[in-house]
A and B are shown apart, each in its own frame.
Chain A
């Protein structure tokens, strides 16, 4: 399904040249480096990559909730024309929960175990819209109903541990959309859930997009979810964006060798008794990135002289971009060798 909006629209979220450093005994610069992407109103954009490549960190930077020690050293994050990095903590609070909602990976630990779910959903409305306890509670009931929880009126007084994982994630979603945000950041919202529940949660998010025009920035490593749900894809590797493309183009014709390798590593049906292609090695540890292309040591095309210089993002036809000198020069990207 394609929900791609007309390309002329102003982006809702524009992240440009974002760089994040880790302060500490040894300052590590450029953990996240040169990250740029946009999300248009109502659009769904995926941020994908292996664990440890900076997807979640980028999402937390958008929320302004980077963990202790991490700081944005350059770049800008604009939401609806407002530069979030220039905002005071007070201004950021008025954005979070109001025009920007967030859903996290573990629904159980993302809900306060000592608080009734109705109160947790109502919290955002009471904070941002100044609603009374009673009004916010009525709204929370509507929201619970909206996210597909049966018997919403009675569930309001439940505690998180009394709900199933899928219901907990629905409560999280209800809390994130309580103030009709323009954008919802969903950080692996289905990873902790079993497959049938995953499908239900994605279907719910899809409905919310369709009916309320909420844009979704989906952080995930699940390519199946991406293909099913997203309009455009931002592929991250070792703290930087290696490829940006529409979802159809990306799956049909990946430009970056890393994207190619990721797609090849998805198990396919219909090929019995074959070895699954894997990407050799692992993501370099933060702070020990190669000087040139960060993927070079694992790349089947590595060793080229061009790979040893820092790579730059190059625009490709069709609103795509790739960070690979070879791909930019139009050289083909082949499948990685299957290990013998």
Chain B
């Protein structure tokens, strides 16, 4: 049988073959898992609340009413009021913006720093890898929060500084993950095949290596989002992140902690919000890992 006879009679009018990209396939598997649907739904609700905060929140989050400070949970103040009589529910809702923005930006900084260097080290090896890996090891040897504190001590407190500092702290983790995965991918024959048609190195990195390390990268980035939220809350709790009167879940926890004898239940709303959101990020991270590795590409 020759190759030409294999060419089937043209069926041009037929419907396209059911082609599913690996990404779509992974997403479909993700949405089949109840736990990841719940986690994604929770984050979606948070996003909607964050966008609509000024309209959804029952009160202005910054308006003080000292007459009714430490109000209990009532119909007027669903989650009570804080020491300055500000509505806790409204502050909680407005703080969602920070709770989502902070992880997004700090992980974004980590991706910008860690991914290109990781890809480069994984493909080039040699002295490039040696230098970058030692640098990453040095950064990883420092306790993350302490290192972030040191950066903030130099550049000063403030939300933007906290997010960038956390990005620098997370970068070596992403670098490690990407470097390891890129090393494995670089040994694949299709990288040689890409070279054999004349692709240059940066093209191979972006077009062939990056999509093939996307699975572990995505998993790590999602889990880092949870960690970033937790770290931002921690730093805000210490008063280094968001500055008053702006609210973040961390600074709200601080207020509640300071006044725990007047209003012992006040730690619950911000505390539960942090726990649930971190849990959602981690659940999604785990689910992505499961569906991407179960994909059975080859």
Contacts and interface: CB of A to CB of B under 8 A. Distances in A.
Bound pair: A and B? Answer: yes
Contacts, number: 127
Interface in B1-52: 1-4, 6-8, 10-12, 14, 16-17, 19, 21-22
A114 B211 contact: yes
Given A148-B4, A151-B8, A102 B125 contact: no
B21 A159 contact: yes
A159 B212 CA distance: 13
Interface of B: 1-4, 6-8, 10-12, 14, 16-17, 19, 21-22, 125, 188-190, 192-200, 203, 207-208, 211-212, 214, 297-298
Contacts of B214: 114
Contact of A123 (B8, B22, B192, B197): B197
B17 A147 contact: no
Contacts of A138: none
Contacts of B14: 151, 154
B22 A113 contact: yes
Interface string A200-214: 100110010000000
Given A93-B198, A104-B196, A127-B198, 5 more contacts: A68-B125, A94-B198, A102-B193, A150-B7, A203-B3
A35 B1 CA distance: 37
B197 A111 contact: no
A128 B195 CA distance: 13
A256 interface: no
Contacts of A203: 1-3
A63 interface: yes
Interface in A84-98: 93-98
A157 B19 contact: yes
A178 B197 contact: yes
Given A113-B297, A150-B8, A172 B193 contact: yes
A105 B7 CA distance: 24
Contacts of A124: 197-198
Contacts of B19: 116, 157-159, 162
Interface in A158-173: 158-159, 161-162, 170, 172
Interface of A: 60, 63, 65, 68, 93-98, 101-102, 104-106, 108-116, 123-124, 127-128, 145, 147-151, 153-155, 157-159, 161-162, 170, 172, 175-176, 178, 185, 196, 199-200, 203-204, 207
A154 B17 contact: yes
B50 to A, nearest CB: 33
Contact of A115 (B7, B8, B125, B211): B211
Contacts of B208: 112, 115
15 contacts: A65-B192, A65-B195, A93-B199, A96-B196, A112-B190, A112-B208, A113-B212, A124-B198, A127-B197, A128-B198, A147-B3, A159-B22, A170-B3, A178-B197, A207-B3
